[in-house]
Structure 1
Amino acid sequence: MTFHPSALESIPEHEAINLVSDKMMVLNKQTRFSFWECSHLDCIAYPGSKRAMFCRAIQRPLWALIFIIGILTVAWQCFLYLFPYNVELVNFPSERSSSFSDWSTYGVIPIPCHSHNDYWRHVPLRSALRAGCISVEVDVWPWGNEILVGHSPSTVLRGTLQSLYLDPLLKMLDTHNEPPSHNWPKVMSQEMVGLFSNDPKQSLTLLVDCKTEGDRTWPLLVEQLNPFREKGYLTHFNGSDVVYGPITVVVSGDAPLHLLLENTTYRDVFYDAPLDNLTFPAEITADDNKSMDSTYNPSNSYYASADFRTAIGSLSLSRLSDVQLAILRSQVRAAHKLGLKVRYWGTPTWPVGLRNYVWHVLVHEGVDVINTDDLRGATRQDWKPHHRWQWWV
C-alpha cells in the first residue's frame, strides 16, 4: 500500500501519529533486513517509482557480481594451496628491448632450486629455466645407442636425453656465446656465458640419474657430451683444479663411480655423493686441501645428497626436533668441509605451509639447492638465509 504525506490532513491527529509510527517501523525493518533493496527512504516508500526501479536494476546485479567474484577468488586460492603442481609458471613478454632479449631466460632471476623429475613437466627443461632453477634432474635408461628418459621402463618418453636436454642446451649456449659479428677480433674473444641473462656466470647442473645398468649408460653419456666438451661448456677437473663452465654434469643412482675415477687428470662428469654416509678426516677445515684425500671430494663429486625422510626422519608436530636439527647441521657441515653442495630429496610436499617451513629451514642451515616439484611455489619464496627464520627452529 502506497503512503503519501497529504493523506495525514484528512484524519485525526492521534491516528496520524499512529500511522506515521507504524510506517516508520515498517521502513526501519525494510532498511535493516533487506540486503537486496535500496536503502534510500524514497525508494522504500515508493517502490514503484522510477528511482526505486533503477536502484533495483543496478544494485542487485552489482551485489551478485561481487559475490560471484568473491567465491571464485576463494576457490582459486584453495586450488593453488591444495594443488600447486597443476599450475605452471606464466611469463609475460617484456616490451623493453635489451641486448639479452633473444635469450629464452631473459628477465629470469636464478634461484637455488632443483627441478625434480624435470621430464614430467609440460615443457621439460624450459619450464625449469623459466622458473630460474639452477639444477634439473632427469632419469635415464640405456637402450641400444640411445639414452631414454623416464621414471621407469613403462613410462619412458618419446624423446631421449639428447633430444630433450642436450640438443636444446647446446643450441642455447651457442646462441648466447655467438660473437657480436664475424669481424670480431680473436684477441677480444668473449668470456664464456651460461644460460641466465641476469647471471651469465651461473652454471646449470644437469643431474643424470642412472636408473639401471650404469656401466652401459656411462660411455653413451660421455660420447653425447662431446660437443659441450669441445666448446668448453662443461665444468671440469683439469688434474689440479675445478674449472667451472656453463653446464655441470652430475651422475647419480646406478652411476659407475669406478669408471668416473679411472681418469685422474681430467673429469667433466661428477658424482652425487651419499650425504648421510660421508667420511673425512676430523682435522679437515673448510679451506683445507686435505679434503681431496677423502673418497668424495671436488675432483670427483659435486653434490652430496640424501633422502630427507631417511637421513633426518619424519616430522612430528610439523617441525624439526632439536635432534633432527643437529643431524641436519652435522651433515651440511660435513659436506661443506669436503667442498660439496648439499641436496635433500623426499622433503615434505604437502601441506604447503609445512613444505615452505622445511624449505626455509634448509636454506637457513646452508643447504645449497632445494628439491622441488612445484616450480610456481619455488618462485614465490625468498631464498636468502634471513635471520628472521631462526625462530622457526
Structure 2
Amino acid sequence: MRSEAIKPAGVSDRAQRIGQRVERFVRDVVAPYERDPRRDSHGPTDALVHELRGLARAADVMTPHVLEDGTHLTQRETAYVLRMSGLSPLGPLACNTAAPDEGNMFLLSKVGSPLIRERFLRPLVSGQVRSAFFMTEPAAEGGAGSDPSMMKTSCRRDGNDWIVNGRKAFITGAAGAGVGIVMAKSDDGACMFLVELPHPAIRIERLLDTIDDSMPGGHAVVAIEDLRVPQEQMLGRSGKGFAYAQLRLAPARLSHCMRWLGACTRANEIATDYANRRQAFGKPLIEHEGVGFMLADNLIDLRQAELMIDWCADVLDAGANGIAESSMAKVAVSEALMRVADRCVQVMGGTGVSGDTIVEQVFREIRAFRIYDGPTEVHKWSLAKKIQRDWRRGSAA
C-alpha cells in the first residue's frame, strides 16, 4: 500500500516530493534486493551497498535529506523522508540515511571547520564512504556506555598533534568505514577527532555477534594505540566533546525512530496482507477477532509513534536542544514499534519467524533498537532526574 497520495499534516510540498521519490525507489528498486545473498552475519556487504547507492544516485534519492547547498531539511521534513527510506531494511543504506552516517553528517555540518567539511563531510554526503562513531567502551573495563562521563580513552597534546589511546566497543560500521569520529578525554574534558580509516593505530579486535544484522560492518571492539591526530582534525575545541555529542544525540535518536517507523509500517503491511489471504477455520485470519484486534492495535501504535516523532521534530525545529523530548520519543516509539513487530510475527505464525519476508528481521532489529542510543530504562532514569530538578526549582520559587 503506497502512501504517495497521502500528504500528512505538517509535511511541506518539497518534503512530500522528495519522500515520494524515496518511497517509489525503496519499494520498487530496493525491496527486491532483500533476498540478495551478499550479506553475512554482521550485515550487508560493501559491494551490495555500493551497488544500491549507484541506483540511488541514478534515481536522484542519494542523501535526500541534505539539499544541494549543503543545508538540511527541517526535522519535521526529515521525519517524513527518512520514514520512506526505512520501508526496507536496505533503504537507509541505499539512500545514505542510515546510522551512524546520518547523525555524523549532521554533527559535522554544524561543528566542522571548512577543512573538516571538505575532507570528511563531503565524501559522506556523496555516499562515497561510510563512517563510524567511536564513543562506547567495553563494559568489563568500566568504560563509557550510557554514561559517557566514564570514558577511559585518553588524549594528550604533543606539539601540534594529539595522541589518543584506549579501547572502544559496539562501534557500528567500523569495519569498512572511511571516516571515523573518535571521542577521548583530555585534561580539559571530552574531545572529538576526525580520522581517515582504515588507520594502522585503530585495530579491530573482533566483530560482535549481535541480534541485528542490518548495518554493514557490524559492531566492533576496537583498540586505539598511539593514534596521532593533527590539531586541525579536532572537531571544535578541546573539552567540548560532550556538548557536541549532545548536539548530535537528540536528532540521531529521532532519526532512528523515523527509519524504524518505516520498517514497521512495511512489516504491518505484510502481516495485513497475510491475514487477509490466509484461511483458517473456514474464514480469513483477519475475521478472527484475536488477529483482527492485533492489527487494529498495530494501527494505533504506528499512529502514536508518528505523532510522537512529529512532536519531537517540531521541538527541535523550534531551536530547543530537545534532549528530554528525544528521550521521551525514543522510549515511546521503540516500545510501540516492538509491540507492532511482535504482533506481525504472531499474526503470521511460522511464516513470521522465517526468512520468507522481512518481518522476522524487523522484529530482531527493533529489539536491538530498544537498547541502541540508550536503553529505555536509562532514558526513563534521565527523565526522572529532570522531573526532580524541575520540582526543586518550582519549590524554590
TM-score per shorter chain, which class?
under 0.3
Greater Rg over alpha carbons, structure? 1
TM-score (norm 2): 0.25
Q: When the two structures are superposed, what TM-score results if normalisation uses the length of structure 1?
A: 0.26
